[in-house]
């Protein structure tokens, strides 16, 4: 019977019989060992939660890359937002996960809040703008983390702040761009990745073109993929096909959500409000042209310049191996702190804090 609504259709993408068929096909057609990496926290969780990771044939190795926005937030950025939180008359508006990320000496926004700093959890940048309206006497600093997916709504919010003259709304722009990080990753001689599963959400904005270099310059089969088990298995089959024919490509498996040219309107607002800049990534260091800073016309909304705070290239937290986990060089359970001093209740690094972090996913689903 044909599916009659969206949830029926999505149920098909989880169908156990269809999944088993694809798994059998993968087993039969796998030409040799294959290490694939996903670079999206939602894929990390989907692969663990659905049980796919434990069902994959022995020759397939699953690696998680730098795809969780909270996890890639650099140590120096964490130190900077802790400094912002301690400024007079500032309210930090942040997504929930960030509040527990340990900074230098293990302090976090949660601790800063306990010490009297004003921290508000918000669910969008527009919530932060509402705070700016509600507290005209305070400066609201929104912590803008995330990839190309979240940057357009933050850009749109800044535009509204400008239109409405809400100059007490400030943004600490920590947004990061995925393709330059992938280029940096593939240039790292210590990273061994045969194929990539590309992020569905980011791709809805940027489309297919920005990934072409993965196949053309690095010879890495890459598939833009949805988040259901069937999507992921189909992506693996598409990768195996490319391995067999020896013709690496970038394939859009998630065409039900991702247009080949992405979302031009979203990119337009991003390009108006932000300018491409270098960025610091946890584990990957400074990557040229991989971040978004506020464009000249919107500089007055920049929290760092307005409040006189700088981001420094600080070393990793002692003992934490998030950098190696984010590069797929280390499985979370091989970190000496995993499930000892570092657990979701007592996280030492952001990969254990975020619900999309590899260490948290491994702790929740693979132990
Ligand atoms: S287990 Fe904890 S300390 Fe180790 S890499 Fe993961 S988050 Fe970092």
Residue 7 has pLDDT above 80, yes or no: no
Q: For a pocket test of ligand 1, which of 359, 360, 361 has the largest count of ligand atoms closer than 8 A to its C-beta?
A: 359
Question: How far is residue 33's CA from residue 97's CA, in Å, rounded to a whole number?
Answer: 36
| pLDDT tens, position by position, 271-284 | 999 999 999 999 99
Query: Residue 53 C-alpha to ligand 1 middle, in angstroms?
Result: 20
Residue 2 has pLDDT above 70, yes or no: no
Ligand 1 pocket check for 146: Cβ under 6 Å: no
pLDDT at 4: 62
- Both tokens of residue 289? 């042209």
Ligand 1 pocket check for 70: Cβ under 6 Å: no
The ligand 1 atom at the shortest distance from the C-alpha of residue 319 is: 3
| pLDDT tens, position by position, 62-99 | 999 999 999 999 999 999 999 999 999 999 999 989 99
Ligand 1, atom 3: nearest CA belongs to which residue?
320
Count other C-beta atoms under 10 Å from residue 367's C-beta: 9
pLDDT at 366: 82
Question: How far is residue 112's CA from residue 116's CA, in Å, rounded to a whole number?
Answer: 7
Query: Residue 352 C-alpha to ligand 1 middle, in angstroms?
Result: 6
Ligand 1 pocket check for 360: Cβ under 6 Å: no
Ligand 1 pocket check for 348: Cβ under 6 Å: yes
Query: Residue 341 C-alpha to ligand 1 middle, in angstroms?
Result: 9
| pLDDT tens, position by position, 112-157 | 999 999 999 999 999 999 999 999 999 999 999 999 999 999 999 9
Asked if 75 contacts 317 with a C-beta cutoff of 8 angstroms, the reply is yes
pLDDT at 3: 53
Mean per-residue pLDDT over the chain, rounded = 95
The ligand 1 atom at the shortest distance from the C-alpha of residue 335 is: 4
Question: How far is residue 214's CA from residue 219's CA, in Å, rounded to a whole number?
Answer: 6
Rg (C-alpha) for the chain, rounded Å, is 21
Strands of the chain, DSSP E: 34-38, 60-64, 90-94, 118-121, 139-144, 169-173, 195-198, 222-224, 250-252, 274-281, 285-294
Query: Residue 17 C-alpha to ligand 1 middle, in angstroms?
Result: 36
Count other C-beta atoms under 10 Å from residue 114's C-beta: 10
């Amino acid at each position: 019977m044909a599916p009659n609504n969206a949830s029926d259709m999505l149920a098909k993408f989880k169908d156990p019989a269809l999944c088993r068929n694809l798994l059998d096909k993968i087993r039969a057609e796998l030409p040799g060992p294959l290490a694939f990496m996903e670079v999206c926290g939602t894929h990390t969780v989907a692969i663990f939660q659905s049980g796919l990771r434990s069902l994959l044939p022995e020759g397939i190795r699953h690696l998680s890359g730098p795809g969780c926005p909270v996890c890639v937030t650099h140590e120096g950025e964490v130190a900077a937002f802790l400094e912002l939180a301690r400024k007079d008359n500032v309210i930090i508006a942040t997504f929930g996960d960030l509040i527990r990320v340990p900074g230098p000496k293990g302090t976090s926004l949660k601790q800063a809040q306990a010490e009297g700093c004003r921290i508000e959890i918000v669910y969008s940048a527009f919530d932060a703008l509402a705070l700016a309206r509600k507290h005209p006497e305070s400066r609201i600093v929104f912590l803008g983390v995330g990839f190309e997916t979240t940057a357009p709504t933050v850009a749109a919010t800044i535009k509204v702040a400008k239109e409405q003259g809400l100059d007490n709304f400030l943004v600490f722009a920590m947004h990061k761009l995925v393709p330059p990080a992938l280029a940096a990753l593939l240039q790292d001689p210590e990273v061994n990745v045969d194929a990539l599963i590309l992020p569905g959400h980011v791709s809805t904005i940027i489309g297919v073109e920005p990934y072409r270099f993965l196949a053309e310059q690095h010879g890495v089969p890459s598939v833009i993929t949805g988040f259901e088990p069937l999507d992921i298995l189909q992506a693996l089959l598409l990768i195996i096909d490319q391995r067999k024919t020896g013709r690496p490509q970038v394939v859009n498996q998630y065409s039900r959500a991702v247009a080949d040219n992405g979302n031009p309107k979203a990119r337009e607002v991003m390009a108006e409000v932000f300018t491409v800049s270098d960025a610091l990534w946890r584990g990957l260091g400074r990557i040229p042209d991989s971040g978004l800073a506020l464009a000249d016309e919107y500089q007055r909304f920049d929290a760092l310049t307005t409040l006189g705070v700088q981001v420094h290239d600080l070393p990793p937290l002692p003992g934490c191996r998030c950098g190696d986990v984010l590069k797929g060089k280390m499985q979370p359970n091989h970190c000496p702190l995993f499930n000892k001093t570092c657990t979701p209740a007592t996280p030492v690094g952001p990969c254990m804090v975020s619900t999309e972090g590899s260490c948290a996913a491994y702790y929740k689903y693979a132990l």
